[in-house]
Amino acid sequence: MLKLDIKNQIIDIKLDIKKGEIVAISGDSGAGKTTLLRVISGLEDAKGNIEADGEFWLKNSRSLHPRRRSVGFAMQNFALFENMTILDNLLYVENNLELANRLLESVDLIEFKDRYPKQLSGGQQQRVALCRAVVKRPKILLLDEPLSALHSKMRLKLQKEILKLHKEFNLTTIFVSHNITEIYNMANRVVELKRGRVVGDKLIEKEIYEQPFIYAEIVEKMESYGKYYIILKISDRLVKNSVEKDRFTRYNIGDFIKVEVKV
Amino acid sequence: MKSLLDLDFTPFLISFKLALITTIILFFVALPIAWWLSQTKSRVKPFIEAISSMPIVLPPSVLGFYLLVAFSKNSPIGEFLSHFNIELLFSFSGLVVASVIYSFPFMLQPLQSGFESLNKGMIEQSFLANKGVITTLFRVALPNIKPALITALIITFAHTIGEFGVVLMVGGSIPEQTKVASVAIYEMVEIMDYKAAHIYSAIMLLISFSVLLLVYILNRKFKLKAL
């Protein structure tokens, strides 16, 4: 159980998160999503209380140092140790070679384990950051837009991997995401922030089955004889849909749009 | 006609010894201060930065004069040290203390700016990995600011070798004790022994150039490696 009652210049949040929950944090930029993760990890100051499994990480203004909190944090800028190889990045956090190898294997990076971060692409670095956050099997796993740099195929694979690790290590996971499909695929609860406050808090499982729609990715845009089409990827199928001109201009490849499901 | 073999190279050895000891001491003194300055939001930070940068702008003779006064037996510091039989004036130990003060900003500033330019996330991740400040400093921070570290070490060493004013005021020119290369050149010019002064100066020129070349080569190497 993670009980939050925190306040600083940017956020003012009260939230209870059950052990084992996967909570997505959504909201516009500047809503305080990253700040919330940084306050939980102890990297940013706040007043109030943070209680994790009965242990106070923050009580009034007395704060437990980040190193004393059981937190794994995959940051938006990855922050990999550039002087260490990929494998050493994980071993520095937890000296568990077997687990480190297994994690790198699960994200298709085992063959790059002796390379340095700068020798990897952004997407590959992001996967290493994810493994590093998990390797110490923390109580709380914090992921700040963990899959933003990945292409859709890898994103889906990683979503499954995160869920697998989350279950296996009995983690409580909080992740920030703007991607609605990612939120619906991974989280069982979504908390929406606005100007540092909680303005929405919904359980997803219930909602997803009630809603007669899915989110589909636009993979291509076409114009033919004055008509406009978008190609959507639904499951493994590609579906061609005609759209009006103004919508066609508004949409970008990679966008996810809500598609009605006719049963 | 003087040849190279006739010249006394002890001043160079003293200069090297002084530069080496000063660099080692300064590394350990400046490292925690540079780290603290790079991390702190304290209001006293500008004062500490201003004080530590004073040797850059002060004429060496001014600094030398104050150290001369401070080290003399009439001063509280000199008097306190005399209880332990420590005599800093006109001694090699005094030269080391003076050099540490004089060269302090040359070690501090590159280290501090190196730490400040470091991705803060790396330091935070090290803390989250349950590592303390010392481990974080030596295993994450320093290895990731290698160009700044090398610049700090080499420039401090070179700057100490080139010292003149402070060294002359505090150490005088006692042969085989406090007479460093720069002072030796000054004395040779004074007695109009230009031939020897030329040789000494050429050696100093060569050393300075080599040191700077080394800094640029190493920095280029590390920058390329980092790409």
The CATH number assigned to the domain holding A8 equals 3.40.50.300
What is the total count of domains within chain A? 2
How many angstroms separate the CA of residue B140 from the nearest CA in chain A? 7
Cβ <8 Å between A43 and B124: yes
Six token digits for residue A61: 């203004």
Distance, CA of A253 to CA of A51 (rounded, Å): 43
Q: Which amino acid is at B108?
A: L
- Closest partner residue to A118 among B121, B128, B226, by Cβ? B226
Determine, for residues A93 and B129 on separate chains, whether the beta-carbon distance falls below 8 Å.
Answer: yes
Chain B residue with Cα closest to A43: B124
Average pLDDT, chain A: 88
Per-range mean pLDDT, top range of A101-110, A216-225, B80-89: A101-110
Q: How much is the pLDDT for B172? A: 85
Whether residue A169 is found in the same domain as residue A252: no
Q: How far apart are CA A194 and CA A200, in angstroms?
A: 9
| Separation in Å, CA of B131 to nearest CA in chain A | 7
Whether residue A235 sits in one domain with residue A170? no
pLDDT band at A156 (very low <50, low <70, confident <90, very high): confident
Lowest mean pLDDT among A165-169, A187-191, A255-259, B105-109: A255-259
Q: Are residues A113 and A230 in the same domain?
A: no
Same domain, A33 and A101: yes
In this predicted structure, the answer to whether residue A263 has a pLDDT above a threshold of 70 is: no
Euclidean distance between CA atoms A106 and A153, whole angstroms? 14
**A91-100, A163-172, B201-210 — most confident range:** A91-100
Same domain for A111 and A233, yes or no, is no
Give B45 to chain A, closest Cα distance, Å: 20
Whose CA is closest to A79, among B121, B132, B16, B211? Answer: B121
In chain A, which residues touch B (CB < 8 A)?
A: 41, 43, 65-69, 71-73, 75, 77-83, 92-94, 118, 132, 136
Give the residue among A129, A14, A6, A133 at the shortest CA–CA distance from A70. Answer: A133
Interface contact A73-B125, CB threshold 8 A: yes
Work out the minimum CA distance from A90 to partner chain B, whole angstroms: 10
Q: What is the mean pLDDT of residues A119-147?
A: 93
Same domain, A127 and A242: no
| Digit-coded pLDDT (tens) for A169-208 | 889 999 999 877 788 788 889 899 999 999 989 887 545 5
Give the range among A88-102, B21-35, B76-90 with minimum mean pLDDT.
B76-90
Rounded to the nearest 5 degrees, what angle is found at the Cα of A123, between the Cα atoms of A150 and A115?
155
Cβ-based neighbours of B128, under 8 Å, separated by 6 or more: A41, A43, A66, A67, A69, A71, A72, A73, A93
Share of chain A above pLDDT 90, in %: 54
Domain extent for A225 = 214-260
A255 dihedral zone (left: phi>0; alpha: psi -120 to 50; beta): beta
- The residues of B whose Cβ lies within 8 A of any Cβ of A are 119-122, 124-132, 139-140, 143-144, 226-227
A209, A229, A248: which is the final residue of a domain?
A: A209
pLDDT interval class at A165 (50, 70, 90): confident
Co-location of A183 and A223 in the same domain? no
Q: Which amino acid, one-letter code, is at A67?
A: R
pLDDT(A154) > 50: yes
**Which three-class secondary structure state does DSSP give residue B204?**
helix
For B43, the 3-state DSSP assignment is coil
- DSSP string computed for A4-50: EEEE-SS-EEEEEE-TT-EEEEEE-TTSSHHHHHHHHHTSS--EEEE
Could you tell me which residues come within 8 angstroms of residue A226 by beta carbon, excluding any fewer than 6 positions away?
none
CATH number at residue A253: 2.40.50
Q: Are residues A110 and A237 in the same domain?
A: no
What is the model's pTM?
0.79
User: B144–A72: do the CB atoms touch at under 8 Å?
Assistant: no
Same domain assignment for residues A93 and A119: yes
Averaged pLDDT of chain B: 90
The full set of domains in chain B, from first to last, is 7-58+90-226 (1.10.3720.10)
Alpha-carbon gap, residue A90 to A84, rounded angstroms: 9
Interface test with B, best of A82, A94, A116 (most B CBs within 10 A): A82
- Considering the domain architecture, whether residues A204 and A228 belong to the same structural domain is answered as no
Contacts with B145 from chain A: Cβ below 8 Å = none
Residues A37 and A11 in one domain: yes
Residues A136 and A180 in one domain: yes
Q: How far is B130 from chain A (nearest CA, A)?
A: 4
At B165, the amino acid letter reads G
Q: What is the pLDDT of residues B151-184, one digit of tens each?
A: 999 999 999 998 888 988 888 888 888 889 899 9
**A253 touches A218 (CB < 8 A):** yes
Chain B residues closer than 8 Å to A132 by CB: 125
Size of the A and B interface in Cβ pairs below 8 Å: 61
Measured from the Cβ of residue A29, the count of other Cβ atoms closer than 10 Å reads 7
